Structure 1
Amino acid sequence: MRDDKQWYFDLSDGSVHQGKDSDVFNRMGPYPDRASAERALQIAAERNKAADDADDEWNN
């Protein structure tokens, strides 16, 4: 899939755009669809929790 057809979440204002409209430092993605991009912060939180849980399991 081409990058300009994928979706991104803009951290600076919380908007969602198709294509790389926002600055690379304020952009999360790419996501395959608008709904996923709208959930960018939730997806990141879930991934962080999974990684933290894996670290805890590894350390114990």
Structure 2
Amino acid sequence: MSDETEQFWFNTDTRQVEVGRRSDWSHLMGPYPTREAAQHALEKAERRTQEWDEEDERRR
């Protein structure tokens, strides 16, 4: 990725997208190439976690 100000981050504390990394890293997911990708970061992470949990259950 190029300039950090062109990267998008999802802030899990405020639930807002930030352009450039402005907040503490412990509240950020990213970077993402687009605002839209950052907006859906938490949903995507939750979906993946659910899929992995289901896969773990099938393997038991």
TM score, norm. by length of structure 2: 0.81
- Aligned length in residues: 59
2:12 corresponding residue in structure 1? 11
Q: Which runs of 4+ in 1 moved over 6 A?
A: none
Q: Deviations over 1:6-45 (max 9, x none)?
A: 2111112111012211111111112221001111221111
2:37 corresponding residue in structure 1? 36
Mapped partners of 1:51, 1:2: distance in 2: 32
Mapped partners of 1:2, 1:53: distance in 2: 37
Percent of pairs with identical residues: 36
Instruction: Name the aligned partner's letter for residue 2 of structure 1.
Output: S
Unaligned segments of structure 2, at least 5 residues: none
What is the CA RMSD across the aligned residues, in angstroms? Answer: 1.5
1:2 corresponding residue in structure 2? 2
Unaligned segments of structure 1, at least 5 residues: none
